[in-house]
């Protein structure tokens, strides 16, 4: 698949991205290890997603800079079909706190997995 560069104007700034970003709300589960090495898990919803990363709204985001395991749930395309999970390991790039909306941006290269498959 060829890389697509998407350019969007935000205010007076231009942002250049290596892949198309889709503005869609999907449930996300994310896991990371805290400073003591303990496993942490939380959830939220995507604000947007691309093949190379996403932004997740969550009241308790992981710390900036940590490695995070991401699991995004896509709904089934047909009524009798199964949903799909997008999974990736990435890095938290930044935390945003804007009023009621707290969240984080993270990198990730997503692989498709059937939601029925257990790991």
Encode pLDDT of 45-76 as tens digits: 999 999 899 999 999 999 999 999 999 998 88
CA quadruple 114, 68, 30, 26: dihedral, nearest 10: -70
Kindly list the distances between the CA atom of residue 98 and the CA atoms of 12, 70, 90, 104, in Å, as whole numbers in the listed order: 20, 22, 23, 11
* C-alpha–C-alpha distance, residues 110 and 34, integer Å: 23
pLDDT at 19 over 50: yes
pLDDT digits (tens, 9 = 90+) for 25-48: 999 999 999 999 999 999 999 999
As beta bridge partners, residue 107 has 53
- Domains of the chain listed by start with CATH number: 21-114 (2.30.110.10)
Beta bridge partners of 15: 8
- Please, which pLDDT band fits residue 92 given cuts at 50, 70 and 90? very high
**Model pTM score:** 0.77
Q: Which two tokens stand for residue 63?
A: 């710390």
């Amino acid at each position: 698949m060829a890389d697509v560069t998407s350019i969007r104007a935000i205010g007076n700034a231009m942002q250049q991205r290596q892949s198309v970003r889709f503005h869609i709300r999907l449930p996300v589960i994310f896991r990371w290890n805290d400073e003591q090495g303990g496993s942490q898990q939380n959830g939220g919803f995507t604000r947007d997603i691309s093949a190379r990363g996403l932004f997740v709204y969550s009241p308790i985001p992981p710390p900036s800079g940590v490695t995070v395991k991401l699991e995004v749930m896509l709904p089934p395309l047909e009524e009798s079909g199964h949903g799909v999970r997008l999974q990736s390991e990435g890095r938290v790039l930044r935390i945003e706190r804007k009023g009621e909306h707290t969240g984080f941006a993270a990198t990730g290269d997503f692989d498709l997995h059937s939601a029925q498959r257990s790991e």
